[in-house]
Structure 1
């Protein structure tokens, strides 16, 4: 008697997709979220933990739900990178927190900036780091101070709600929205509408993983739409009507994927509903069985854009969307806003480069004072760990540039200062293996000294672990922190090197050359060597990423 074919094939294991009936939690994180919504931790912080102190915090809140309000325990000082993957979380935890303040669209007025500066000085030992998602992160925050921090932030319209966790995180936007003379659309209204409708809503506070968004009309494509979970990129129809091209499924980390065009044209008044549809698909169909496969990129990759569009239109929007055009190529070869440029109203904006995003409370106050003295009430953060001051009249440009540069806030920085980013690193992060901020800062100083005339675009992204918070795979030189063996046979901090990653017209992930690593101490020598080879061999107009694709391996080592 023959065996039925079905017996030879196991039923595929459920991926934990709610829409297919898999409602029982399949891992510890999902169990915690089912037991209690992360948004509910706020009241416990106010009523219990801030009054009774660190030791009163429930472990499920401490290492889980507190992220829903931008709080992570920071790394206990003195634990080397070799222990990162070995120790239990409670052994890595310090009794202090990193606190992430969400700045949707990177938009701040001076009152808000000063409140962040005061909180930094009063409660964060003066720390303030700009992230590559337009947020500000403080460190050394004690649980007792959190309610007062929230009160101060909320009085000026800021918050930490869903700055971390399996939630809709900060919405990226062009810092020049509404003022760039060449922008297709001012996305400010759409960002506010999405924020007000979805952030802090319990209907969307239990996602399979984090959810990163961007809405922008920027001609430089500064919000890197290709690597967001969902992105709305301004486009124009042949009729002249302006709207957005929808992208979904981008993300880096240990399994990088570029976002895919869903192929639809979204009117500005439809953005909030379409965002709700995409995040609804992620909530309901996203994979919840394995954390490392839970980002929306895996679902989009498995379904493909056509099925994703069909489910979006039929199940969530209940109406079809028209086809739309792809975005134009990005303006220029540096997708940032550093320097002095005209606004559409005849004034100027001034973008400047703090070193690897590292600032402090006093420096934030100085930025606010400089802006105010020069007639500006608005500053912006960028996705490159930089800042922009808006609305400078032509007669005050020279003065503000001089004053910013006197405060080591470079308006005309070297390529190395302008285009080097670094994640938090082992100084505060429990996932990190190596130091990043000081290493990157030293690298900038060394390269400026050794290669003073280098002027090509060149991104150098420094990451303390494999998770790619600093976007290593899409950098010209991407540095992934790990322990390496030096010439003396000792295990020391260092980096695996990715070369020639890029976004834009020819997107691609960095090339890995077999065995290409460097110690942290040897990093300046390595970068000087490979950049010198590029300068010697490049053809007219050739980018570093293009050169890497054709270069001999010997010249990349």
Structure 2
């Protein structure tokens, strides 16, 4: 994984010292809250419903055991003993005291972490595939280009005050686990006819008030030209993006208003000017330097079949269920990818206690080359585990309530903090997700239902990605009463789609029964081998609408 150089460490240390002074002036009354707002946002500090919240950057979702242990320490010392992993692969602490934030930042800096550009109208944390470096069909580790973009975008003077926040995601396989088409810029690593690696570029995706799927504006951008092409996109956005209306300020609105063809024309013209000036041509030696940080671990030569694994699967049915849902294929024989669910039945999706963080750090250190990943679906991943160690990993996870066997199943839900924490929310998300997981707790039933993604947001800002859930739930406020609007057919993969609204919203008392009705309708309609999303695409919304509103 990437390690700080002298420049990185100096930059982060200077930012910590600078923000320490700003916090001191706020606490002394020299700065009002309005004056302090932009300063704190530049350092990842939000003011939520009940307290300040600190958002910590986890670039492209990669953490070392040492870094995770520091997060556990911060949770114990400065928060309430837990943190919350987000859909941007970051971690949030919901209860830090403002006076303690400089100390937290110093602790983070000691393990090469920070909160820079986790908020504000800038290029945010670049996200990527949690299976990077391990996926079978990967063309190239997407963390390499993600790190290049991170270095280019951090404190970029031209892009520090964009019309609105800006999000970039990178995928290295045909199977998109990074949701690139719902980002301001989505990057797909591809090969051309000459077997050269380059980038397919999507622009103008995003969720929130106006959900849109990104439009492809480039089939192949060569490696050495990527930063120049991205800079061209950002320049066009900076010139024409709306600054007079926060609801129309994202690049997706610009792409929608001028059209994808005109956006491509503008970007290509700007790109040609940048190339003519000879700027931002990415040197191969710099690419090679960064590639070296992401070289493959020293894998053992192992048979792909594991006798130890096969015996454990037969002897332990609960372990067999866990392998079935939580373990994915690895590109190296004898190894597997382990997904750790942060969605225990009745729990808060994405929450992880300090004790659990320490446990995962220990397991990663012992069994997965001292590294782990955060997923945009609010889980954790150990990318490189020997198959013969899978049962030992499972047994190490169990005492810490980290062995829930539900990845990609109905209880593996995405949910935003909602009205329990967020000042913008209209309704609670967490209790709804908890009740749904309790309703569908039976593991055999979950496996019978198969892959089904439920995403819940507490407001139209869509931090819970409800638009792209197979079943999406949006909390709305109707005269002070919480209601829940349902969408069906969304997806955030290589076939990204925005879900369709089924009809009138449901009350808090009705919503879990409504989900039950949707699932029952699917089970009665599916054909052999069909997932929920396959059935929905085949039959459409009408059977679900009919059963929902005949019942409710």
TM-score interval w.r.t. the shorter chain? 0.7 to 0.9
Q: Secondary structure at the match of 1:310?
A: helix
Match of 1:553 in 2: 545
TM superposition shift of 1:429: 0.6
Please say if residues 50 and 145 of structure 1, whose CA atoms lie closer than 8 Å, have aligned partners that are also in contact. Answer: no
Match of 2:373 in 1: 380
Which one of 86, 111, 115 corresponds to residue 131 of structure 1?
86
Query: CA offsets, 1:451-493, max 9 Å, x none?
Result: 45533221111111111111111112111112358xxxxx643
Query: CA offsets, 1:178-233, max 9 Å, x none?
Result: 22221122122211111112112232110000101012203320111110000110
Q: Distance in 2 between matches of 1:109 and 1:215?
A: 21
Q: Distance in 2 between matches of 1:315 and 1:452?
A: 51
Match of 2:428 in 1: 435
User: CA 1:319–1:165 in 2, change beyond 3 Å: closer, same or farther?
Assistant: closer
Match of 1:310 in 2: 265
User: CA 1:391–1:540 in 2, change beyond 3 Å: closer, same or farther?
Assistant: closer
Query: CA offsets, 1:518-554, max 9 Å, x none?
Result: 2223322211111011101223444345444352522
TM superposition shift of 1:348: 2.4
Q: Distance in 1 between matches of 2:408 and 2:177?
A: 17
1:511 aligns with 2:500: yes
User: CA 1:393–1:433 in 2, change beyond 3 Å: closer, same or farther?
Assistant: same
Match of 2:330 in 1: 342
Match of 2:360 in 1: 367
Q: Distance in 2 between matches of 1:301 and 1:213?
A: 18
Q: Distance in 2 between matches of 1:44 and 1:239?
A: 49
Q: Distance in 2 between matches of 1:189 and 1:505?
A: 21
TM superposition shift of 1:410: 3.2
User: CA 1:113–1:235 in 2, change beyond 3 Å: closer, same or farther?
Assistant: same
The answer to which of 269-278 and 337-346 deviates more is 337-346
User: CA 1:411–1:372 in 2, change beyond 3 Å: closer, same or farther?
Assistant: farther
Q: Distance in 1 between matches of 2:482 and 2:361?
A: 37
User: CA 1:552–1:140 in 2, change beyond 3 Å: closer, same or farther?
Assistant: closer
User: CA 1:314–1:415 in 2, change beyond 3 Å: closer, same or farther?
Assistant: closer
Match of 1:456 in 2: 450
User: CA 1:412–1:550 in 2, change beyond 3 Å: closer, same or farther?
Assistant: same
User: CA 1:506–1:445 in 2, change beyond 3 Å: closer, same or farther?
Assistant: same
Q: Distance in 2 between matches of 1:58 and 1:42?
A: 20
Which one of 486, 490, 494 corresponds to residue 497 of structure 1?
486
Please say if residues 465 and 480 of structure 1, whose CA atoms lie closer than 8 Å, have aligned partners that are also in contact. Answer: yes
User: CA 1:173–1:54 in 2, change beyond 3 Å: closer, same or farther?
Assistant: farther
Query: CA offsets, 1:75-115, max 9 Å, x none?
Result: 03xxxxxxxxxxxxxxxxxxx31111111111111111111
Please say if residues 343 and 349 of structure 1, whose CA atoms lie closer than 8 Å, have aligned partners that are also in contact. Answer: no
TM superposition shift of 1:514: 2.9
Task: Count residues in correspondence.
Answer: 478
Q: How does 1:404-443 map to 2 (within 5 A)?
A: 404-410=397-403, 412-413=405-406, 415-416=408-409, 419-443=412-436
User: CA 1:52–1:344 in 2, change beyond 3 Å: closer, same or farther?
Assistant: same
Q: Distance in 1 between matches of 2:16 and 2:257?
A: 36
Query: CA offsets, 1:134-163, max 9 Å, x none?
Result: 111111111111111111112222111010
User: CA 1:287–1:504 in 2, change beyond 3 Å: closer, same or farther?
Assistant: same
Q: Secondary structure at the match of 1:257?
A: coil
Q: Distance in 2 between matches of 1:75 and 1:54?
A: 23
TM superposition shift of 1:510: 1.7
Match of 1:58 in 2: 32
TM superposition shift of 1:362: 1.7
TM superposition shift of 1:59: 2.5
TM superposition shift of 1:306: 2.5
Match of 1:145 in 2: 100
User: CA 1:205–1:345 in 2, change beyond 3 Å: closer, same or farther?
Assistant: farther
Q: Distance in 2 between matches of 1:427 and 1:317?
A: 49
Q: Give ranges in structure 2 of 5+ residues lacking alignment.
A: 1-13, 277-324, 344-348
Match of 1:334 in 2: none
Which one of 462, 470, 475 corresponds to residue 464 of structure 2?
470
Which one of 254, 265, 289 corresponds to residue 299 of structure 1?
254
1:278 aligns with 2:258: no
Match of 1:20 in 2: none
TM superposition shift of 1:444: 0.7
